[in-house]
Amino acid sequence: MLSLIPQKLPLVFAPTPLHPLETLSRETGCSIWIKRDDLTGPGLFGGNKMRKLEYLLAQAKKEGATHVLTYGASQSNHAMETAAACRRFGLEPVLFLLALVAPDAQEKKGNLKLNGLLGAEVHLLKAEDFQGRTSQEALQEEANRRMAQIKAEGGHCFEIPMGGSNALGTLGYLDAYMEMKEQCRRLGIAPFDAIYASTGSGGTWAGLLAGQACLGGREEIRGVSAGLAGETYVGQVTRLANEALVLRNLKPTLKEENLLLDQDYVGEGYEIPSAASTAALQRMARREGIFLDPVYTAKAFAALLDHIEKGDIKAGSSILFWHTGGISALFAESTIVGQLD
């Protein structure tokens, strides 16, 4: 028996633009294109999480949710995008955030400032709040307490995992891959040799892989890690991609050994800029007038540039750089942003 295909709410300005990076293509001898998911909307600071939220919030609405609770680092783009998307559909956003980098004591920065503007309920956990628990345990226990409270008050809280990366959210990037292929068809662009995308909680990369599996595409889809990934990471991403295929009544055909994870551009760690990521951010701005973010896209673009430089990507190749957003982090704490000028 076929199950119903999940529905989504309209949140994304789709299709997002797909265009060549002419100056960088000339400089590098490769044909570099960009997919502008920094422009997904609904506000100035779009980003990849909006595509997942179209499915996730449709489910929340279907279940009659009053509140939506999610998790992230203090400068989480996902948390801010969730809060913005909730406002569009009359839902109360509740954010449980982990202060990996100490928030600016004087002034809320970046996404913390936007969360305040959106009137989101923000719970910011610092190391002293853990009390012998791991950060994840502390976050989950505090969130569970808040969810029980909302329930006791007669509300219904819809919980979204970190990064919106469950099978349902992943469908947003299965659709995004299809959207890109349709644009290429209409514009007469030959299939790309490779696609580069930043990967964190994994849903974006998993969705692109799932979309490719649906259509039988041949591009190398490289996931460039924004933080050091554990040993089980590629297995988890494979599982997510396969679960998304099953939600679409398709066969789960992805195999872990076919995934191309690149961890060489993490630098010292998540939310810590590297010389290469800062240089990549500057180069995109100074050659194309396009802003990347310091935490995710700058590291993914650093990988792409370095792979061309080292000859891992052959001269004349066509490459799609998938811009996943995160621009609001350019206004985060200076330890996250780095020295840009």
Ligand X SMILES: *Cc1c(COP(=O)(O)O)cnc(C)c1O
Residues that bind ligand X (CB under 6 A): 47-48, 77-78, 163, 165, 198-205, 293, 296-297, 324-326
Crossing angle (nearest 10°) for helices 233-247 and 167-187: 80
| Options 31, 76, 165, 225, the catalytic residue | 76
Contact 293, 271 (CB under 8 A): no
Contact 194, 31 (CB under 8 A): no
Q: How far is CA 28 from the centre of its chain?
A: 27
Token reading at 110? 């970046």
Least distance (Å) from ligand X to the CB of residue 321?
A: 12
Exposed, middle or buried by CB within 10 Å (0-12, 13-18, 19+), for 33? Answer: buried
Residue (150 or 160) nearer to ligand X, CB = 160
Contact 58, 153 (CB under 8 A): no
76 is catalytic: yes
The dihedrals phi and psi of 34, each to the nearest 5 degrees, come to -135, 140
Residue (103 or 203) nearer to ligand X, CB = 203
Least distance (Å) from ligand X to the CB of residue 300?
A: 8
The radius of gyration of the chain's CA atoms, rounded to the nearest angstrom, is 19
Q: How does DSSP classify residue 291?
A: -
Least distance (Å) from ligand X to the CB of residue 38?
A: 8
Least distance (Å) from ligand X to the CB of residue 325?
A: 4
Closest residue by Cα to residue 258 from 274, 281, 234, 277: 234
- C-alpha 78/C-alpha 97 separation (Å) is 11
Residue (29 or 235) nearer to ligand X, CB = 235
Least distance (Å) from ligand X to the CB of residue 78?
A: 5
Residue (93 or 325) nearer to ligand X, CB = 325
Residue (230 or 311) nearer to ligand X, CB = 230
Least distance (Å) from ligand X to the CB of residue 235?
A: 15
Least distance (Å) from ligand X to the CB of residue 198?
A: 4
Query: Residue with CB nearest ligand X?
Result: 326
Exposed, middle or buried by CB within 10 Å (0-12, 13-18, 19+), for 183? Answer: middle
Cβ count within 10 A of residue 32: 27
Closest residue by Cα to residue 264 from 318, 312, 300, 233: 300
Residue (150 or 170) nearer to ligand X, CB = 170
Closest residue by Cα to residue 137 from 296, 42, 145, 332: 145
Residue (150 or 284) nearer to ligand X, CB = 284
Which bin fits 252, alpha (ψ -120 to 50), beta or left (φ > 0)? beta
Q: Please give the positions annotated as active site.
A: 76
